[in-house]
Amino acid sequence: MRAAECRTGEALALALRDLYENSWRLVPVNAVLGLALVAVGIAGYAVRAALVLLPLVGPLVAALVHSAVRLVREGEVTLADAAEGLRLHWRRGLALGAAGAGMLGLGVLAVRVYAGSRLWPLAFLTVYLLVLAGIYQVVLWTLAVAEPARPLRVACREAAVLAARRPGATLLLGLALLLVNLVGVAAAAMPFLTLTVAYSSVAAARFVLPRPTVGEPS
């Protein structure tokens, strides 16, 4: 039997507390990840072929997710945990990064093709499917990093099972985190680089991982 799980609102609230108490440890990792994403984005805008570098950001994502998992499980996190996460999960990060980049690329291409054709309603369907796939990725990254000994295919299956078992809560979490990141990007580049991705990682860990039992860190 699984331990009790956080509801969506509770996971978001606990992640806000976690970020407030540990921001100086999480923000530097998030900033490095954000700067890498911005650099790849700028390079891709200038030279479309540079977008093939996007999977290289995957190990940095894995390092941040590792820090979030550590915080939820142990109640504390250090900068050294990010380095440990990078060392432990860089291969898995590359694999997940490549899969995510490929999914995004195909989705964007499909939207452009459909939007310029008589099948334009399919563009909206593609965007909807991309959002769902992104939400699935949030759950998958957390499970894949939290249980590195399990094969990646097992993590993929467990992520699908969790999303199917808690469809409404998972969708609500994903939409809330999407809104948080969109607000961060709209406000300015700096909030996006220093706050929202770290918050999203911790909120996902709070939602996906079982609650600590009595006597363990909360």
Q: How much is the pLDDT for 1?
A: 35
How many folded domains does the chain comprise?
Answer: 1
Does some domain include residue 216?
no
The residues near 57 (Cβ < 8 Å, ≥ 6 apart) are 33, 36, 37, 40, 97
The mean of the pLDDT values for the chain is 88
Does some domain include residue 1?
no
Lowest mean pLDDT among 115-119, 133-137, 160-164, 171-175: 115-119
Does some domain include residue 143?
yes
| CB half-sphere exposure, 105, CA atoms < 13 A | 16
Does some domain include residue 41?
yes
pLDDT per position as a tens digit, 84-112: 999 999 999 999 999 999 998 899 899 99
Does some domain include residue 218?
no
Nearest Cα neighbor of 99 from 148, 155, 43, 166 is: 155
pTM attached to this predicted model: 0.90
Does some domain include residue 30?
yes
Helix (H, G, I), strand (E, B) or coil at 211: coil
Does some domain include residue 2?
no
Give the domain extent around 112: 8-208
DSSP summary character for residue 216: S
Q: How much is the pLDDT for 140?
A: 97
Q: How much is the pLDDT for 185?
A: 76
Q: How much is the pLDDT for 166?
A: 94
User: Quick one: average pLDDT of 28-38?
Assistant: 86
Cα(102)–Cα(157) distance, rounded to whole angstroms?
19
The answer on pLDDT for 73 being more than 50 is: yes
Cα(33)–Cα(21) distance, rounded to whole angstroms?
20
Q: DSSP for 136-202?
A: HHHHHHHHHHH-TTS-HHHHHHHHHHHHHHSHHHHHHHHHHHHHHHHHHHHH-HHHIIIIIHHHHHH
CB 212 within 8 A of CB 5: no
pLDDT per position as a tens digit, 43-72: 877 777 767 888 899 999 999 999 999 999
Nearest Cα neighbor of 173 from 124, 218, 134 is: 134
What band does 189 get if pLDDT is binned at 50, 70 and 90? low
User: Quick one: average pLDDT of 170-178?
Assistant: 94
What band does 27 get if pLDDT is binned at 50, 70 and 90? confident
